[in-house]
Structure 1
Amino acid sequence: MGLALHTTRQDGRATIAARGSIDLHSSDELRTRLTELVDAGEREVVVDLTAVDFCDSSGLNVLVRAYKHARAQNATLTVTGAYGRVENVLRTTGLDRFLIGGTAAEGGAGR
């Protein structure tokens, strides 16, 4: 299916809504977008995975590297909307502990 990315900005937060699969063929596009946002001065970046049906190790690598890059720039990067296989891989790898932020009421939990 590929990957489509849509970025919105509201209340000091940049949200990237991803749709499709994050894999070896599409992860560079996500990496580039996340790096550009943080380097442009965004201090709160949210990756919405609600419409993502698959994420492989290259996608996880992009999320981890972007998280570390954001922290180095005094910014935050969190993931929201992960469900099904994507949520399972985040939980199985333990990445949910630092990538999935906030609470459901804040819009930062897994579902």
Structure 2
Amino acid sequence: MAARGSIDLHSSDELRERLEALVEAGHREIVVDLTAVDFCDSSGLNVLVRAYKHARTQGGAFTVTGAYGRVENVLRTTGLDRFLISTPPEV
């Protein structure tokens, strides 16, 4: 799934609903592409963390990819990068 724009108080409910629907539909590996996201506030982080937890309780995986700039910085600053950003396997 690709997100775009800002993930904030005004848009986080829509993202939450879409992510919940994916998990409930049985998708077990959810990847959210944040390449086109330029801002993410605490409500956006909350949605991502809840989606991660929800997917895990259903036996699935949840990761984000494409985070850069301010979005990558907030994920790293909060330590959420360790859980949400998938790292490629070492060769």
Deviations 1:7-46 (A, max 9, x none): xxxxxxxxx1011000000000000000000000001000
Gaps of at least 5 residues in structure 1 are: 1-15, 106-111
The secondary structure found in structure 2 opposite 1:78 is strand
Alpha-carbon offset, residue 102 of structure 1? 3.1
Match runs of 1:90-109 below 5 Å: 90-103=75-88
Higher strand fraction (1 or 2) = 1
Deviations 1:37-86 (A, max 9, x none): 00000010000000000000000000000000000000000000000000
1:81 to 47, 63, 66: 66
The secondary structure found in structure 2 opposite 1:48 is strand
Bigger RCO of structures 1 and 2 (CA < 8 A, at least 6 apart): 2
Count the aligned residue pairs. Answer: 90
**Aligned partner of 2:67: which letter?**
A
Gaps of at least 5 residues in structure 2 are: none
Higher helix fraction (1 or 2) = 2
Identity, % of aligned pairs?
81
CA RMSD in angstroms, aligned pairs only: 1.3
**Number of the residue aligned with 1:36:** 21
| 1:72 and 2:72 are equivalent in the alignment | no
Task: Give the TM-score, by structure 1 length.
Answer: 0.79
**4+ runs deviating over 2 angstroms:** none
Rounded to whole Å, the distance in 1 between the matches of 2:4 and 2:36 is 5
**Aligned partner of 2:62: which letter?**
L
